[in-house]
Amino acid sequence: MPADPSRSFKWATIICSVVSIVFLIAAAVRENISADWRARQAAFREILTRKAKDAAARTAARNLPIEIRQVVVPALHAVDRCVTCHLGIDDPRMADQANPHRTHPKRLLTIHRVEKFGCTVCHQGQGAALNFEEAKAEDYFWDYPLLPAKFTEATCASCHNPRALPAGSAGRLVLGAQLYEQKGCGGCHKLNGKGGQLGLPLDNVGLKTKHQFVRTNLKGSQTNWNWLAEHFRDPAGIIPGSLMPVPALSRPQVEALTVFMLSLRQRDLPAEYLAPDKIDEQYARLHPAPPDGAALYRRYCAACHDTGLFSRWDKLFQRFVPGIRNAAFVRAADDESLAVNVREGRPGTPMPGWGPKAGGLSEAELAALVAYMRSSAPAMALPAAPARGDAARGATLFAQNCAGCHGVAGQGLIAPALANPVFQRAATDAFIAQTIRAGRENTPMPAFGRAGFGEAEIGDLLAYIRKWQPAGAAAVALGRQP
Amino acid sequence: MTPTQEFLQNLKQAPRHIRESMLRNGKMPETDRERSQSTFHNVFFHLQSVRVHRHSLRFAYTFGLGLILTASFVVLTLTGILLMVYYKPGAELAYDSVKDIHFVVPAGRFIRNIHRWGAHLMVLAVFLHMARVFYTGSYKRPREFNWLVGLALLALTLGLSFTGYLLPWDQLAFWAITIGANIASSPREVTDAIGITAWFDPGKLLKQLLLGANYVGQEALIRFYVLHVAVLPLALAALMGVHFWRVRKDGGLSRDETRPAPPARIGDRDVQVFAPNKTYGLMAVVRGRTPEVGRAPEGTVTSWPHLLWAEMAAFMFTIAVTLALSYFFDAPLKEMANPAIPENPAKAPWYFLGLQELVSYSAFMGGVGIPAIVLAGLGLIPYLDRDPRGVGVWFGGPAGRREFWQSLAFGLASVLALLAFTVNFGWLRAWYPTIPQIAIIIVNPATVIVAMYSAWSLWVLRRTGSIRLSAVALFTCFLAGFVVLTAMGSIFRGPNWQFYWWPSQWPTH
């Protein structure tokens, strides 16, 4: 009898069928019976039975159903299945157990009930997952992986004001918020509309996903917190060419600042979730208290100007930073010119403007800052400036005596730029003349008046320096007499 | 027999009667006549002819690709229905519902994997099936129209896969569809270049038709969902019916009619049968060329069980492969769609990456020009190549086989050389920054490669004088181009569509 024409098909069918059945059974077992959480729940049942004190409790423990558990919090858009494995999370008897059966530490859940808050609103991570790797969701396609314990405090700020938390709670977050002020981060970074513009705004940094960080130079863990921590240790190592000063921070300080960065996230939470202090914070943003000049100076100015009593050379900027609280300077400048300098900054230099449209400070805050600077010295009545003389002679004098520090073109080297439009606007002739005449104590600016410059030479210099005045600016120079 | 006895007896025999009534002839067939009846009397088996040619059962002829496609469609329909039970087509809900399918629906992850890999398998098989049909000359008379039906099925398959791609609403889906929609809006490159976009903007119209908005959002999602679960599957099923019907009416699978038929299998013996001189009665009243006129069962075997076994094998093979893939590899699911965080590189589904590569040279040529040329060319093949010889033989014989290898070498070499040139030296815009865009639309790597392939095909035509061989040359070139460009787009293009030898070299942006 000739061979059956469909013999090979029969074999193929049988082999493929066997393969299919094997995979179907294997998948059915893997997906259902051998799921991780079943073993965890069985273990929990054991623990519960062991801890049972009487027969009724033992029966209840034995009958504990093995099933997926979840906390659904519609207000937070949370479906958290963490409790499928963390069964003892709000059971005080489980304090002596190891994870995942352990009670939540610090009794935090008595204040933040699981049914009301769920898990991921504080811990982040993927609440829908049913195994730890996917719940943790690091190196996984998930926007907000589980926060490591040392950074979890970041999410407290969703409902609490980190500046008003009671002592002893969320220590890292509180320290981070303080460091942000103390280190003058606001000098370069905007937050809530206020701050400098050299660095990136920091609003909602905590909401960024790892894809929004430039991680080209990030070694090790690719998480946001590792990025932030490494960046605090060595900003230029993460972002080449970064102008951010290397802050001398201890390890706890790095962690605290990282927590604070992660806490910068505006979540649209229902009012019943907000702590009273958070509501106060929001109220305070709309109705600010009278500004404190010293605090404002520390927050926005000190990062570059330090105490402001002396001028200093900045290595990163490769330029000179004037001492803006220097008594000689403050004495010579009137409030209005100080305010103009603060409000408008110095275009072309790292000094940003701080007016409402730039740095976001209100006029009241600007006034407080000026008042704080004024506390170094009262304004003096300046002797009248000599009449502007011959600019050509002034040019020669400038090249001989001034250009070494102020630059040939007045662009500023180790001394302020005189060709700067805002300087030209803020400075009166009397101010310039007095500075040349009397110099600036505690800075390299000598008193040329004592070095033999007469009023005529000063007038010539004045004429030359005023050549840098922007066209038409003389008329609008703050409506004041030049 | 009392009524009670009769009732009991009927009750006892009910299973047999049910079986008989259901199967019409009631039992496993034992003779060829019963086998024929079993085929004929069953609505599903009736789709097959009673007897099937031995040649059609040769695995190396068809590789079972049509059956694999059918099987994938069945698998996709079944798993798709299961997924539909849990899937919620809302921009806010879709991603979470897919996550729930992944995590808590019993075996949901596995079913989604089957659906995903089954879809990729189907797209792959549809390309291979087309190549098989082309290279065996199966599009020739009387099967020309079925080739066109097949092209429509190809388009529908790609459409189904593309619309399904968006539904998980993750970053992969969102940006792939964004890219796809941008490809659809590529006519704008031409209207921009000649400055009429303000009055006439077919690109925008196409994109809006596809997305229901100017961006990928809820409108696009619901649109894609409806297309994916209702419109396209129904259209595909209907056209599949037409396709099968035409296969049968056009004489079954193509085969070389000039060769002597192998013996027929009658009962369990192989018998040489010669054509009778009379036609079947019914066929006598049917006009035109019908398959069985003047034919005896020479070279055939009964469809039951031989064809059924072949079909069963293909079905089970498809299922086994998808199950194995689904067991070991999870279907991709990235972060939830976020319009604020573009994927870099954002890539369309893999079968469009060849086009995306072309789009990177010229949006119009890659998105409209070349696909239109290719589709028109494919559709015209059976009407331009009317040579009846070479049907049912791979490449139509040794000459075609030689032509295939030569064209493959030429097709691969030219596209690789052109890509290497473009990657290393750039193109017109890099050399003449002010060149008008219309020049680039006309002269770019995409059009150059099409011109090279056409020239090669014309040269083959002149050299051999055979339209068939020149068609083989052209088809092979385009196949080589498709494979290379798809690989280029999938593997060798990284962030900002830069060339990288391997994805591990991509910078973490």
What pLDDT, in 10s, does the model give residues A311-364? 888 888 888 888 889 888 888 888 888 998 899 888 888 898 999 888 889 999
Across the interface, do A130 and B103 touch by the CB < 8 Å criterion?
yes
Position B277 scores a pLDDT of 52
Tell which CATH architecture fits domain A293-374: Orthogonal Bundle (1.10)
Read off the tokens for B423: 């990657």
Across the interface, do A214 and B319 touch by the CB < 8 Å criterion?
no
Position A357 scores a pLDDT of 87
Across the interface, do A16 and B323 touch by the CB < 8 Å criterion?
no
Position A477 scores a pLDDT of 44
Distance from CA of A66 to the nearest CA of B (A): 14
The total of other beta-carbon atoms located within 10 Å of residue B142's CB is 16
Distance from CA of B330 to the nearest CA of A (A): 12
The chain B residue lying nearest A140, using CA atoms, is B334
Q: Where, residue-wise, is CATH 1.10.760.10 in chain A?
A: 153-262, 293-374, 391-476
Which residues in chain B land under pLDDT 70? Answer: 25-26, 274-296, 508-509
The chain B residue lying nearest A137, using CA atoms, is B335
Across the interface, do B103 and A128 touch by the CB < 8 Å criterion?
yes
The packing angle between helices A251-262 and A224-233, to 10°, is: 130
Across the interface, do B306 and A20 touch by the CB < 8 Å criterion?
no
Distance from CA of B97 to the nearest CA of A (A): 10
Across the interface, do A31 and B96 touch by the CB < 8 Å criterion?
no
Its pTM surpasses 0.90: no
Integer distance in angstroms from the first to the last C-alpha of chain B? Answer: 89
The total of other beta-carbon atoms located within 10 Å of residue A399's CB is 12
Is A12 an 8 Å CB contact of chain B? Answer: yes
Read off the tokens for B459: 């040269």
Is B103 an 8 Å CB contact of chain A? Answer: yes
Q: Are A308 and A297 in contact (CB under 8 A)?
A: yes
Position A479 scores a pLDDT of 41
The total of other beta-carbon atoms located within 10 Å of residue B495's CB is 14
Across the interface, do A141 and B54 touch by the CB < 8 Å criterion?
no
Distance, CA of B223 to CA of B203 (rounded, Å): 18
- Could you tell me the CA-to-CA distances from A361 to A151, A190, A358 in Å, in that order? 31, 11, 8
Q: Are B254 and B392 in contact (CB under 8 A)?
A: yes
Across the interface, do B341 and A26 touch by the CB < 8 Å criterion?
no
Across the interface, do A31 and B106 touch by the CB < 8 Å criterion?
yes
Position B35 scores a pLDDT of 85
Of A9, A31, A215, the CB nearest to B107: A31
From chain B residues 377-436, the ones with a CB under 8 A of any chain A CB are: none
Distance from CA of A37 to the nearest CA of B (A): 12
Q: Residue A155, class by beta-carbon neighbours within 10 Å (0-12 exposed, 13-18 middle, 19+ buried)?
A: buried
Range picked from A106-110, A397-401, B320-324 for highest mean pLDDT:
B320-324
Q: Are B83 and B115 in contact (CB under 8 A)?
A: yes
Enumerate the residues of chain A whose CB falls inside 8 A of the CB of residue B106: 31-32
Distance, CA of A385 to CA of B349 (rounded, Å): 75
Read off the tokens for A242: 């970064």
User: For the structural domain made of B58-252+297-338, what CATH number should be given?
Assistant: 1.20.810.10
Range picked from A231-245, A274-288, B274-288, B409-423 for highest mean pLDDT:
B409-423
From chain B residues 464-493, the ones with a CB under 8 A of any chain A CB are: none
Distance, CA of B474 to CA of B452 (rounded, Å): 10
CATH 2.60.320.10 fits A391-476, yes or no: no
**What are the CB-based long-range contacts (under 8 Å, 24+) for A6-9?**
A6/B57, A6/B301, A6/B305, A6/B306, A6/B309, A6/B310, A8/B59, A8/B313, A9/B57, A9/B306, A9/B309, A9/B310, A9/B312, A9/B313
Residue A476: pLDDT band by 50, 70, 90 thresholds? very low
HSE, CB side, 13 Å, CA atoms: give it for residue A218.
20
Helices and strands counted in chain B (H then E) = 22, 4
To which residue do tokens 């995409």 refer? B446
Which of A200-209, A276-285, A430-439, B3-12 shows the lowest per-residue confidence on average (mean pLDDT)?
A276-285
Read off the tokens for B66: 């049509």
Is A19 an 8 Å CB contact of chain B? Answer: yes
Position B233 scores a pLDDT of 97
Enumerate the residues of chain A whose CB falls inside 8 A of the CB of residue B59: 8
What angle is formed at CA B300 by the lines to CA B299 and CA B304, rounded to 5 degrees? 165
Tell which CATH architecture fits domain A153-262: Orthogonal Bundle (1.10)
Enumerate the residues of chain B whose CB falls inside 8 A of the CB of residue A28: 107
Q: Are A259 and A173 in contact (CB under 8 A)?
A: yes
Enumerate the residues of chain B whose CB falls inside 8 A of the CB of residue A34: none
Average pLDDT, chain A: 88
Q: Are A411 and A419 in contact (CB under 8 A)?
A: yes
Enumerate the residues of chain B whose CB falls inside 8 A of the CB of residue A142: 335
Is A215 an 8 Å CB contact of chain B? Answer: yes
Position B173 scores a pLDDT of 93
The total of other beta-carbon atoms located within 10 Å of residue B224's CB is 25
Residues in a beta bridge with B499: B493
Is B336 an 8 Å CB contact of chain A? Answer: yes
Is B54 an 8 Å CB contact of chain A? Answer: yes
List phi, psi (to 5°) of B270: -90, 130
B372 vs A472: which has the higher pLDDT:
B372
- Could you tell me the CA-to-CA distances from B194 to A365, B197, B363 in Å, in that order? 56, 8, 15
Average pLDDT, chain B: 89
Across the interface, do B309 and A10 touch by the CB < 8 Å criterion?
yes
Across the interface, do A27 and B326 touch by the CB < 8 Å criterion?
yes
Across the interface, do A2 and B270 touch by the CB < 8 Å criterion?
yes
Position B250 scores a pLDDT of 84
pLDDT digits (tens, 9 = 90+) for A123-160: 999 999 999 999 999 888 999 999 999 999 999 999 99
Q: Which residues contact A137 (CB under 8 A, 6 or more apart)?
A: A125, A126, A129, A144, A145, A146
Q: Say yes or no to pLDDT of A85 above 70.
A: yes
Read off the tokens for A312: 């200093």
Q: Where, residue-wise, is CATH 1.20.810.10 in chain B?
A: 58-252+297-338
Position B319 scores a pLDDT of 97
